[in-house]
Amino acid sequence: MLEIVPFHPSHLANLNLQGFAGEMAKDPETVAALDKSGMAWSGLMDGRVVGCAGLIPQWPGRAVAWAVFGECLPMSAWFKITKAVRKVLAETQASGFHRIEMTVQEDFKQGHRWAEALGFNPVCVLRKYGPEGADHRLWERVA
């Protein structure tokens, strides 16, 4: 069963994150910023943290979405997670955020499929955007 709970910084430590996400989870300033936004949640399955996601407001009406997952989840879990995240995005936009953006590394096909499933539309490719110099695709969800 999937349970959505408020994000707590310790949740990131419970995920087996690799690469840049793993480095981000170890940086106290980054983790504090994610927590400070007040717009972050964690997904628990059978009491264990399987992912964290949230929104970071940029200015009135605009936010940037982020998400990290620590394990390969069954398709049934992805349906539940996607439904929960779509609900949060709709509520956020109804509360006054008219634009939500996210980026997905260009070669991460599953991430692009998930962005579409969440109701985002592709905008453009951001060359050498990632911290490791990888290309990313910018996605937007506009109310």
- Residue 6: which CATH number? 3.40.630.30
Residue 89 has pLDDT above 80, yes or no: yes
Structural domain count, the chain: 1
Structural domain boundaries enclosing 16: 2-142
Report d(CA 135, CA 106) in Å as an integer. 5
Could you tell me which residues are beta bridge partners of residue 103?
Answer: 138
Cβ-contact 64, 35 below 8 angstroms: no
Q: What is the pLDDT of residues 3-36, one digit of tens each?
A: 889 998 888 888 877 666 777 777 888 888 888 8
Q: What is the pTM of this model?
A: 0.88
Q: What is the pLDDT of residues 115-133, one digit of tens each?
A: 999 999 999 999 999 888 9
Contacts (Cβ under 8 Å, ≥6 apart) of 11: 42, 49, 52
